[in-house]
Copies of this chain bind each other. A is one copy, B any other.
Amino acid sequence: MPIAKFEEIRSLPLFSGTRDESFRALVRGAYVQNFPPHTELAVEGEPADFLHIIVSGSIELFSQWQGRETSMSFLGANDTFILAATIKDRPYLMSARTLEKSRVILIPSEDIREVFENDAEFAKAIVIELATCYRQAIKSAKNIKLRASPERVANYLLKLRCKNGGADCFALPFEKRRIAEFLGMTPENLSRSFAMLKSKGVSVNGQEVHVEDIDTLTEFAHPNPLIDS
């Protein structure tokens, strides 16, 4: 496998400190793949044979139980999944599907574990990535357990606004039904939350969001860095 194909990930935080020799060992058995939208890349319960790194596109992690389904997180370019399963050599806890056309690099889990043993810088990068994922999971749990659904929606909009550089007008990044699942509510309820947030100076038309009164919205949402980062 020519290393040139992987130049696009060489500079990612996960590999930036990695020795050239280690990097070559990582990409030796790796391959790049393009997936169409709505393709399942991983199914929960299956063994974690590859670490996945997203080059472009977007991917949803979700879980199912007894016919119910919930979104766990949305990933984009440069994100990885599912590192913990790779490290522990255990089955996936979540399934993954593409939301749009996506380009993904797959690295055999064994290679990850091997390089991890021999390259301290790579090990450090892995740990930081894992710690970040863990803290994100804790924040998500706090969001679900401590907030009512309109509060979760309000804080989600504030986060989106922030990601868009603080503009008062921006687009929802995914279908509303996906956002609803992610926020732990039904699509119907998300609609009602949007309707209710009109009184807080928010208007939603299709994918487009207008925040007309940031102060009122913020006062209602009570955003907190220990939940919303």
Contacts and interface: CB of A to CB of B under 8 A. Distances in A.
Q: How often does this chain occur in the complex, in copies?
A: 2
Interface stretch (A8-16, A63-71, A186-194, A207-215): A63-71
Main secondary structure of the interface of A (DSSP, over half): helix
A1 B45 CA distance: 46
A93 B7 CA distance: 36
A140 to B, nearest CB: 6
Nearest to A184: B145
Interface in A112-155: 116-118, 120, 123-124, 126-128, 130-135, 137-142, 144-147
Contacts of A224: 65
Contacts of A117: 120, 124
9 closest A-B pairs by CB: A137-B137, A84-B131, A134-B134, A65-B146, A70-B145, A87-B131, A130-B130, A123-B123, A84-B134
